[in-house]
Structure 1
């Protein structure tokens, strides 16, 4: 398992994307505009950096004015085995984002015993590679 995905909540998607592109030479690899909110996805060729804005009232939306790390994701070889290990260690399933585990950006969200949200994905996220 490797951390391959970090999600930040930002107040301005375009300004944040421009900053990370300019400061760290990251490349845009995607964008989503969903019912839950919007995101721009950047990559350094190995890790996906998701810049997110959630719509108010969504279960993942942080408190008003929050900006910072929201969650992170592990790329795993076997979703069922990873889920078993997570739950045996005290983690709880939260929900799935997407419906096809073989597609990029599909993730199963969990909370650790302290309420920290994290994802697991077999296929990874846009801009991530297997290494």
Structure 2
């Protein structure tokens, strides 16, 4: 079993794609269309590769949850990369700032960015293939 996709409601599809294209330069729009969601018209896009993708649905309203609170909702989602420095460079070049630095240790490094809709995305690079080193919880 694996996670196939996340379905996110966003404000602006093009602005959202700017962020995710910088993070995932080899992903592409797999499909798109329009629909009505409980009376609200919206456009949707599946952005990813053959195994996984993100669904973006426009016409979002309201604000995303405040990440510094314990309010119910999504805290963040994370992607593993083989080259964290390259991801950071691409996102900075696309105009997105680091939201917060992650914990750096000898077995992994990570960083957090906010997408244009306020979703926090963690990018992590593991520096060991040994599960006990990668998954320390101290």
When normalised by structure 2's length, the TM-score is: 0.39
Q: Choose between structure 1 and 2 for higher RCO, CA contacts under 8 A separated by at least 6 residues.
A: 1
Higher strand share: 1
Q: Name the larger-Rg structure.
A: 2
